[in-house]
Chain A
Amino acid sequence: MSHGSHSDGHANGHGVGHIVPVGLQFGILMLLLVLTYVTVAARWIDLGPLNIWIAMLIATVKAAFVVLYFMHLRYDRPFNSIIFIGSLLFVALFVCLALADTVTNKPRMWGGPAPAVAEIQKPAPATP
């Protein structure tokens, strides 16, 4: 029932969990700290609209290291990765389609102070 010697229980393919060495995890931590510094530093370089993409790219790389090593996804069953990536895809779907609405539409959010009720061109749909 239990798995013989546990420190190498994963040797047979999949024992109960995979042990990630502490040294590797510490290395990942150092890498994450460096990347954090890089993100903060990156905002001192102006690249226009690229800045947010660079910040997001670095954040994604950091997240990937956390997921792969701290969360063991690299050694885990592939289906768990599918779930996680799937959830990200559905968030992307939601954000993209909802954003596409505002991008392709006249702005519904007023830049200035709210117009008087009579001036509102697009009232909220009637929900009597």
Chain B
Amino acid sequence: MTQMADAVHPTSHAAVPHGDAHAHGHHPNLEHHFDSLTQQFDAGKLGMWLFLATEVLLFGGLFCAYAIFRRNHPEVFMYAHQFLDTTWGAINTVVLLVSSFTMAWAVTASQRGQRHLTSILLALTFLGGVGFMVIKAVEYSHKFHDGLMWGVHYDPAKHEHGHGHNGAHGAAATAAHGAADHAAPADHGTAGAAATAAPAASTHPEATTSVHAPETSGQPAATGAEAADLPPERAPLEPSQVALAPAGPAGLHTGGHDLHGPRPDNVHWFFGVYFTMTGLHGLHVLAGMAVIGWLFVRSVRGDFSADYFTPVDLGGLYWHLVDLIWIFLFPLLYLIH
């Protein structure tokens, strides 16, 4: 966040005294080492695009991890993504897109010197960020409640009572899935069309027992010395479940109400990827909100004019990048097929 502010900073505060008096008719926003506002604006833009390139590569690492985990174990992603709520994900996409639009409009307004409109649009953009983070917080709290967490903290026992409809949160979340799934029966009809469809269907009764297995074996594990610090995920598994694992993606049963199907191993990978990607993205949203808040203050103060709007433009670029990353995160995490 501070880096971001600084990336915008250099071209923004112009009239900082350097101890040297250049008093030859400079624009008040022109720094002493630039020859013209155009040069300064271009330099700021170039710097911002370079900064955005670093952000792309920062997230690139996470996309790489995603690709490798998904390539190696698609069944984990097929299974686990069902715990994400597509409706909330889609709403968040819309929120970010709209806030991106208000930001773009704010840039246009500031370019035209419409100060009040700029301030209003910046405020709206900020609210978009707030909305996004609130929805994200709701989603996160459901995940925490249901033990749908990363690595060692993944706890299937918290969400695999019966059919995973424990607690009001879980019910609300899965109901939305259910609705989506019912709306498109073709989806599941062909999903299991591969050769492994049969085992998936036939193991359906076992699936309900196997999801209880970690739960029941989890309790003795607490007394067992050697498994004492193993997370429930790695507690001994029922044979039926071990046998299921090689069945691959199609071994996942997604039909009807029992949308969770048998649980593959290492489901925590998905939530690790989910939380790192959305978490880092969320931090960027917060950073972007800080930048927009700062722009709002400056806009209200009247710092911007038709020939000096660079900070709004650069802040906008950053905000759009945050939107851009979400455009990819949404289908990759929520819309796995």
- Which A residues form the contact surface with B (CB < 8 A)? 1-3, 6-7, 9, 14-17, 19-22, 25-26, 28-29, 32-33, 36, 39-40, 42-46, 48, 51-52, 55-56, 58-59, 62-63, 66-67, 69-72, 76-77, 79-80, 83-84, 86-88, 90-91, 94-95, 98-99, 102-103, 107, 109-114
Closest to A32 in B: B97
* Closest chain B CB from A5 CB (angstroms): 9
Say whether A7 contacts B331, CB under 8 Å: no
Say whether B184 contacts A99, CB under 8 Å: no
Say whether B307 contacts A6, CB under 8 Å: yes
Known pairs A1-B36, A3-B38, A67-B324. 12 more at Cβ < 8 A? A1-B30, A6-B306, A15-B38, A16-B38, A29-B97, A39-B335, A69-B104, A72-B313, A99-B67, A109-B72, A111-B73, A111-B246
| CA A59 to CA B329, docked complex, whole Å | 9
Closest to A40 in B: B90
Closest to A46 in B: B190
| CA A2 to CA B29, docked complex, whole Å | 10
Main secondary structure of the interface of B (DSSP, over half): helix
Closest to B105 in A: A22
Say whether B53 contacts A113, CB under 8 Å: no
Say whether A46 contacts B191, CB under 8 Å: yes
Identify B266's interface contact among A9, A28, A111, CB under 8 A.
A111
Q: A79-B46, A98-B68 are in contact. Are A17 and B309 (CB under 8 A)?
A: yes
Say whether B246 contacts A46, CB under 8 Å: no
B14-22, B107-115, B166-174, B284-292 - the one binding chain A? B107-115
0/1 per residue, B61-84, Cβ < 8 Å to A?
A: 101100111011100000000000
Give every chain B residue within 8 A of A44 (Cβ-Cβ).
180, 183-184, 186-187
Say whether A19 contacts B111, CB under 8 Å: yes
* Pairs of residues from A and B, 7 with the lowest C-beta to C-beta distance, nearest first: A44-B184, A91-B60, A87-B53, A6-B306, A55-B331, A51-B337, A29-B101
Say whether A20 contacts B104, CB under 8 Å: yes
| CA A77 to CA B42, docked complex, whole Å | 8
Count the B residues whose beta carbon is within 8 Å of the partner chain — how many? 80
Identify A113's interface contact among B46, B189, B265, B309, CB under 8 A.
B265
Closest to B55 in A: A87
B323 close to A (CB within 8 Å): yes
Give every chain B residue within 8 A of A45 (Cβ-Cβ).
184, 186-187
Give every chain A residue within 8 A of B124 (Cβ-Cβ).
none
Say whether A94 contacts B101, CB under 8 Å: no
* Closest chain B CB from A112 CB (angstroms): 6
0/1 per residue, B229-249, Cβ < 8 Å to A?
A: 000001011000010011000
B100 close to A (CB within 8 Å): yes
Give every chain A residue within 8 A of B52 (Cβ-Cβ).
84, 87
Say whether A59 contacts B328, CB under 8 Å: yes
Give every chain A residue within 8 A of B313 (Cβ-Cβ).
17, 72
0/1 per residue, B171-185, Cβ < 8 Å to A?
A: 000000000100110
* Closest chain B CB from A9 CB (angstroms): 8
* Closest chain B CB from A78 CB (angstroms): 11
Give every chain A residue within 8 A of B53 (Cβ-Cβ).
83-84, 86-87
Give every chain B residue within 8 A of A40 (Cβ-Cβ).
86, 90, 335
Identify A87's interface contact among B26, B57, B63, CB under 8 A.
B57
Say whether B331 contacts A102, CB under 8 Å: no
What are 28 A-to-B residue pairs whose CB atoms are below 8 Å? A3-B38, A3-B307, A16-B37, A16-B41, A16-B307, A21-B108, A25-B108, A26-B101, A36-B90, A44-B183, A55-B332, A55-B337, A59-B331, A70-B103, A70-B316, A70-B320, A71-B317, A76-B45, A88-B56, A94-B57, A95-B60, A99-B71, A102-B68, A109-B72, A112-B242, A112-B265, A113-B237, A114-B234
Q: A25-B101, A70-B103 are in contact. Are A80 and B49 (CB under 8 A)?
A: yes
